[in-house]
Structure 1
Amino acid sequence: MLSKIKKLSLVILIITMTSCQDDFLETAPTDSVGPAVALADEASMQNVLNGIHRGMYSQSQTIFPGGNTARANDHWWVPQGDNLTGGIIHSADANNLGWRDNMQWNDHIIETSLTNEILWYHRYNIILHANLIIKRIDEGNLIDTPTLRAIKGQALTYRAFALLSLVQHYSKGYLIGNPSTDPGVPVILEPQTTGPRGTVQQVYDQIGKDLDAAITAFQNAAPRSTGGPETKSQLNINVAHGIKARWALSKGDWQTAATSAIAARQGFPIMGEADWKSGFNSNSLPEVIWGSNVIGTETTFFRSYFYLMCNTFNGSQNRSNPKIADRRLVDAIPSTDYRKDVFLKDAPNSNASAANGQGGWANNTNPLYTTQAQWTAARNAIRSQYGMTSGHNTHPYMHVKMLQKNPGTIDPDDIIYMRTSEMYLIEAEAKAMMNDIPGAQAALQALGGARDTAFNATTFATQAALMAQIKFQRRVELWGEGFGYTDHIRWDEGIDHGANGGSGASIILYQDAFVIAKPSVNNKWIFKIPQAEINANPDIGPGDQN
């Protein structure tokens, strides 16, 4: 494996837990604390797991040698799925943390880009430490207890999660390629080893084995603790089922996708309107199955998901560049659907540097504002209602879906990775693809009916009509949560900001990314293997590059 990851074989993550609000990561070389000591018992292995949990949201240089402060792992990766595919639209030119480069498709297609390197490093970091735990347990000289089974279940689930993330970014999509021959990513099952790319099918097969083993381990394991938002940082059987649902959906195993999605959401009811509009900032929301609880002492400040995404965060990325939604999507949301409320269609364009050149009162075209006083009052009302500062700009179609608990600050908030609504949508899509029309309608009604008082899934009576509505519901319900990239690949859909009246994106800002051909004919959808990996891994050569 890459030299930076191999160096991690000389470092074991150790968490000193003093309380749920005061944990920190330490490292110790194996000449002082070797694997046998660091993984001596359940408590030690749980500490290593806690290191993986923390690594999901910490800045990458705290996780592996050679990391970079510009990426705080899934603070960055979660929104990129929608940034790359144009779901999240930039209203002005701002390139903090390479956010604009990624949006313009000038980043992931370069072998030496930080984005490619950090995603690769982080996911293999997870695999390394999961392997250390799995190997220690499989040695068989520890007493088999419910707690030990839960630890093994988490390690196996993490390995599957990391492999799925890697193969979905660095390989061609399963449904649009030839998985039996398409190059996959290295499947590393032993600590401190390297490996060749193998095939996409081999990677998918290993993910399935890991998830089945994880679910078996969890079935007789100690349950995940209940209580505050910190408990949902730990993985459990629901998370394993949820990742299995994603895995199966991405490979067209529709029955497994539906069954796993139903299992994943058990115990996590769909949230109501008040919760849905509360800002998506806490694992405490009832339908959150898995997320990182980002505690105040470990904030990443201007590296966080909310810094990139949230229009109330007090950072330059947000004040000068409010994120907007595709106006074609927003306009299509029925007025009876309360999700429409989090997209401010009529917000004044107060940014003199707006990418569309229409910022300021002098360029106002909204007939709602016939005087500058009305226009200014509308801008100020939005700032006041949502806790923005006087420096925050507004823009038509800006979102207020992601909101801070303490708006107008740089305080940290949780990152949500998996929730119940996604599982209903997976079930609906899988059943639609099996042509189980009543089953797909029922799953779709459970979600759509909870969001829209007039929703009636029976009006979508064919597979084509159901799939069109399921795609629409995913784009509305999961907007900003990072699923756009994998959805586009699974559905083999390209990007066209100019079609059907236009998305609201500026072609001057978006450049070549304004139109992107569909994944089956455009290999730019596949991330480049980091050049540093090719240089360091004897099992991967220049000919293995995407």
Structure 2
Amino acid sequence: MIKNIKLMLFVVLGIAITSCEEDFLETTPTDAISASDALANEENMQLVLNGLHRGLYSQSQTIFPGGNTARAGNHYWVPLGDNLSGELIHSANANNLGWRDEMQWNSHTLPTSLTNRILWYHRYNIIAGANLLINRVNDGTLTQSEKLNEILGQAHTYRAYAYLSLVQHYGRGYLIGNPASDPGVPILFSSEAPFTSEPRSTVQQIYDQIEADLNAAIAAFENATSRPGGGAAAKSQLNIDVAYGLMARMALSKGDWQTAADAAIRARQDYPIMNEADWKSGFNTNELPEVIWGSNVIAAETTFFRSYFYLMSNTFNGSQIRNNPKIADRRLVDAIPDTDYRKDVFIIGAPNTNTSAANGQGGFGNDPNFTDEAVFDAAVDSLNAVYGITTRFNLHPYMHFKMKNANPGSIDPDDVIYMRSSEMYLIEAEAKAMMGDIAGAQAALDPLGSERDSAYDSSVFNTQELLMEHIKFQRRLELWGEGFGYTDKIRWDEGIDHAADGGSGASAVLYQEAYQQDRPSINDDWIFKIPQAEIDANPNIGPGDQN
């Protein structure tokens, strides 16, 4: 990793000096900023931070040497969680960007795969940039200020975010393993030469570092300037609410229930639950009131056919979607009460127009839901008109329109949402249920459930077992498509079985080995392989360290 970290730090600076705000560009040409100038003062350090913000969604070859145009940061990593866990179901065969390989578990299980390598180095690139800022602020030569504390708080939050992502993918789940001895990932603090590679720290040591970083972030934010407003661009800046939200996620994943509940309550306080119109608007902008944190994707840096919506939104004008509309697990959709407006975004009775559909029921005459061709054609026209797509887009029963492009049928960029207040209500509910606080868990569920479902009644879930089953259902429904399926299944120690309980709607032929997977506690294939490139480059990690 020595060479890669050296190169990544130069790229962090490169992103920073090409990501200047307009007012800075008016006075200082981007090519006139040297590496030393990038850390000279608060204004320039903010540019480094802006580089980290944009690095979250840029194509990876712009972030570090050896990157690849097929992976555009969190555009790929966010939906990957639901692609791997079988929540986001492919209706037909399509392999753009390796998305089918991910679904079939033919990527993260291979040490030489692009996904394993790029995710590893993308997250370490974030750590390298965070180290750069943290070490500069703490070197004692800068005058402390509220702005400097804001930069420090964001840097610590970024580092915690990256380590949590790494340990949850490349380490065994905290609740199903032995964190004191299970290998995690290397901890690195360097921001200048000589760089030293490190062996894998334990899962526990990584969690300790995450918690320390989040505590440091919160302390810094408490004496910092506040986030500049609540618009889409402002929400790409991390703040104290993001730090508390990550604290809630981290604590939930390790079974620290009280910390999870307390942090979740604190994180969500300024982000009201969305109403029906907002929830159905497409999840395409940070402007939504629930959004605590997300990437504001600017038009000048669009990723075109590498975007989140290209991989999973049925209104994006790309072949991955047109040829392979994404559907939801029909067992989940069928369980949604008719009084819950979230059911409306899953089109149970959509006509199956794809003659290459994996279920073999594509095209009129094969679709058992339609016996009249005129009715079939009218249903196609109606859906196309409502959602702004054309006959170039295939349709399929149980397809979703939860995520919709702001400009449907286009390839325009949209924001990538990372954290919402609904998640925080669900974290509080799960934590309290696990502590045996039945009334507390019900109270946490009520605001969310009663907004979404006009007949909602949490009192019927009056035991820990009933509560946990209901919370799992609510997470799968509320957060569907937002990438939580993979880590949820690891925390709950649940496998994948597309055949059980009437079937999910996935094709066994298309899904292959991923059609059924044992639960994570007995199946190490849930753990991402350490990239072979890291094993080859790091003298402290050898073949025996492979997952």
Would you say same fold, with TM above 0.5?
Answer: yes
SS of equivalent residue, structure 1 residue 363: coil
In structure 1, what is the equivalent of residue 169 of structure 2? 169
Partners of 2:365 and 2:371 within 8 A in 1: no
| CA positional deviation for 1:432 | 0.3
| CA positional deviation for 1:376 | 0.8
Amino acid at match of 2:104: Q
In structure 1, what is the equivalent of residue 84 of structure 2? 84
How far, CA to CA, are the matches of 2:199 and 2:225 in structure 1? 36
Matched, 1:502 2:535: no
| CA positional deviation for 1:193 | 3.4
In structure 2, what is the equivalent of residue 160 of structure 1? 160
Amino acid at match of 2:242: V
**Against the structure 1 CA distance between its residues 511 and 372, is the aligned structure 2 distance closer, same or farther, given a 3 Å change threshold?**
same
The size of the alignment, in residue pairs, is 539
How far, CA to CA, are the matches of 1:210 and 1:253 in structure 2? 17
Two-structure CA RMSD over aligned residues (Å): 1.6
Matched, 1:5 2:5: yes
In structure 2, what is the equivalent of residue 206 of structure 1? 209
Partners of 1:324 and 1:396 within 8 A in 2: yes
How far, CA to CA, are the matches of 1:515 and 1:2 in structure 2? 39
**Against the structure 1 CA distance between its residues 195 and 332, is the aligned structure 2 distance closer, same or farther, given a 3 Å change threshold?**
same
Q: Deviations over 1:259-314 (max 9, x none)?
A: 00000001100010000000000000000000000111111000000000110111
How far, CA to CA, are the matches of 1:380 and 1:356 in structure 2? 22
Amino acid at match of 1:529: I
In structure 2, what is the equivalent of residue 485 of structure 1? 486
In structure 2, what is the equivalent of residue 540 of structure 1? 541
Q: Deviations over 1:303-333 (max 9, x none)?
A: 0000001101110001110000000000000
In structure 1, what is the equivalent of residue 329 of structure 2? 326
Q: Deviations over 1:133-170 (max 9, x none)?
A: 00000011111110000000000000000000000000
In structure 1, what is the equivalent of residue 429 of structure 2? 428
| CA positional deviation for 1:17 | 2.4
State how 1:368-383 maps to structure 2 within 5 Å: 369-383=370-384
| CA positional deviation for 1:7 | 1.7
State how 1:42-441 maps to structure 2 within 5 Å: 42-191=42-191, 192-366=195-369, 369-441=370-442
TM-score by length of 1: 0.97
How far, CA to CA, are the matches of 1:74 and 1:198 in structure 2? 25
| CA positional deviation for 1:194 | 1.9
State how 1:449-460 maps to structure 2 within 5 Å: 449-460=450-461
How far, CA to CA, are the matches of 2:477 and 2:2 in structure 1? 39
SS of equivalent residue, structure 2 residue 54: helix
In structure 2, what is the equivalent of residue 526 of structure 1? 527
How far, CA to CA, are the matches of 1:147 and 1:206 in structure 2? 24
TM-score by length of 2: 0.97
In structure 2, what is the equivalent of residue 512 of structure 1? 513
Q: Deviations over 1:507-536 (max 9, x none)?
A: 010011100000000000000000000111
SS of equivalent residue, structure 2 residue 249: helix
In structure 2, what is the equivalent of residue 445 of structure 1? 446
How far, CA to CA, are the matches of 1:39 and 1:27 in structure 2? 15
How far, CA to CA, are the matches of 2:9 and 2:367 in structure 1? 59
Amino acid at match of 1:99: W
SS of equivalent residue, structure 1 residue 362: coil
Partners of 1:20 and 1:230 within 8 A in 2: no
Partners of 2:156 and 2:216 within 8 A in 1: yes
**Against the structure 1 CA distance between its residues 71 and 20, is the aligned structure 2 distance closer, same or farther, given a 3 Å change threshold?**
farther
Unpaired stretches in structure 1, ≥5 consecutive residues? none
SS of equivalent residue, structure 2 residue 365: helix
Amino acid at match of 1:233: S
| CA positional deviation for 1:190 | 2.0
Partners of 2:286 and 2:294 within 8 A in 1: yes
How far, CA to CA, are the matches of 1:513 and 1:56 in structure 2? 28
Runs of 4+ in 1 over 4 A off after TM superposition: 20-23, 26-29
Partners of 2:2 and 2:196 within 8 A in 1: no
SS of equivalent residue, structure 1 residue 290: strand
Residues 445-454 or 418-427, more deviating: 445-454
How far, CA to CA, are the matches of 1:468 and 1:296 in structure 2? 42
Residues 11-20 or 98-107, more deviating: 11-20
SS of equivalent residue, structure 2 residue 75: helix
Q: Deviations over 1:361-385 (max 9, x none)?
A: 011211xx33101001101110111
| CA positional deviation for 1:538 | 1.4
Partners of 2:322 and 2:394 within 8 A in 1: yes
| CA positional deviation for 1:28 | 7.8
Unpaired stretches in structure 2, ≥5 consecutive residues? none
**Against the structure 1 CA distance between its residues 492 and 336, is the aligned structure 2 distance closer, same or farther, given a 3 Å change threshold?**
same
How far, CA to CA, are the matches of 1:319 and 1:375 in structure 2? 18
| CA positional deviation for 1:66 | 1.0
Q: Deviations over 1:56-106 (max 9, x none)?
A: 001000000111000001000000000001000000000000000000000
Amino acid at match of 1:130: A
How far, CA to CA, are the matches of 1:78 and 1:91 in structure 2? 20
Partners of 1:194 and 1:537 within 8 A in 2: yes
How far, CA to CA, are the matches of 2:113 and 2:498 in structure 1? 25
SS of equivalent residue, structure 1 residue 229: coil
In structure 1, what is the equivalent of residue 470 of structure 2? 469
How far, CA to CA, are the matches of 1:22 and 1:258 in structure 2? 44
How far, CA to CA, are the matches of 2:176 and 2:295 in structure 1? 32
| CA positional deviation for 1:179 | 0.2
SS of equivalent residue, structure 1 residue 417: strand
Amino acid at match of 2:535: I
| CA positional deviation for 1:22 | 9.7
Partners of 1:2 and 1:532 within 8 A in 2: no
How far, CA to CA, are the matches of 1:164 and 1:129 in structure 2? 16
How far, CA to CA, are the matches of 1:491 and 1:282 in structure 2? 30
How far, CA to CA, are the matches of 1:10 and 1:194 in structure 2? 17
**Against the structure 1 CA distance between its residues 22 and 463, is the aligned structure 2 distance closer, same or farther, given a 3 Å change threshold?**
farther
SS of equivalent residue, structure 1 residue 294: coil
